[in-house]
Amino acid sequence: MNTAYIIGNGLSRKKHSLGVLARDKNVTTFGCNVLFRDFPADYLVANDALVIYEIVRNDYTESKCLFTDWNPISRDHEESLVESFTNQGYTVIRGGNENRGDMFSLYGWEPTNTVYVLYSQSIGTPYSKFTPIISEEASTGIHAIDAACQDGHTEIKCIGFDSVTEKGNYRNLYEGTENYRRDVGGEKYTPQKADLWKEHHSLIKKHYGKVNIEYIP
């Protein structure tokens, strides 16, 4: 299965049948962020603390989840670390199956002074760390392409990548929903790192020169 589909969350994704992809045994699917709300891709890639929190909080296990920032540590250290953040004025929110998890990861969210404690298992967990070849500041879509390349796929087709196929359209199917910024939306919206994202698309193609990467409107 050398063909991978990267499923972005641009509005154009609605034109494509994800069910057809799910039934094609010759295709591997890589989803971005909260795609899991609607479709269980083979792999789910996320690098935003709030999105990772939502995935783990829902105990989502239908996809193999790849997080760019995922460093579980033993729960022997949990209380001392939580106490330290609490004493600094942070709000601590726990997510995941606390009774089942013997490991945890910490994520900070500075805009609201929040620290998320996310539980996982040391064995059999569907969550694992993904190390990108591009900066961790790259978009989730870039990370998903990178993950597919690292997985050995030589034909990569990207859908829902409107910022590429529609020259800077950054609308998102999930804009305004839980854990998505409320100001994302509107024809004039441009992410702060949009210029970097354009550069990252060029870098990823250059790095994986023998891989055919296609963006489908």
Q: Decide if pLDDT at 195 tops 70.
A: yes
- The count of other CB atoms within 10 Å of the CB of residue 134 is 18
4-20 pLDDT, tens digit each: 999 999 999 999 999 88
Which domains are present in the chain?
3-72+127-216 (3.40.50), 75-120 (no CATH)
- If you average pLDDT over residues 35-41, what whole number do you get? 96
More confidently predicted of 34 and 182: 34
106-136 pLDDT, tens digit each: 888 777 888 888 888 766 678 888 888 877 7
Q: Extract the tokens encoding 110.
A: 């500075």
65-121 pLDDT, tens digit each: 999 878 888 889 989 999 999 999 999 998 887 776 788 888 887 778 888 888 887
Distance CA 178, CA 181 (A): 8
Distance CA 98, CA 118 (A): 8
What share of the chain in percent tops pLDDT 90? 42
Report the predicted TM-score, pTM, of the whole model to 2 decimal places: 0.86
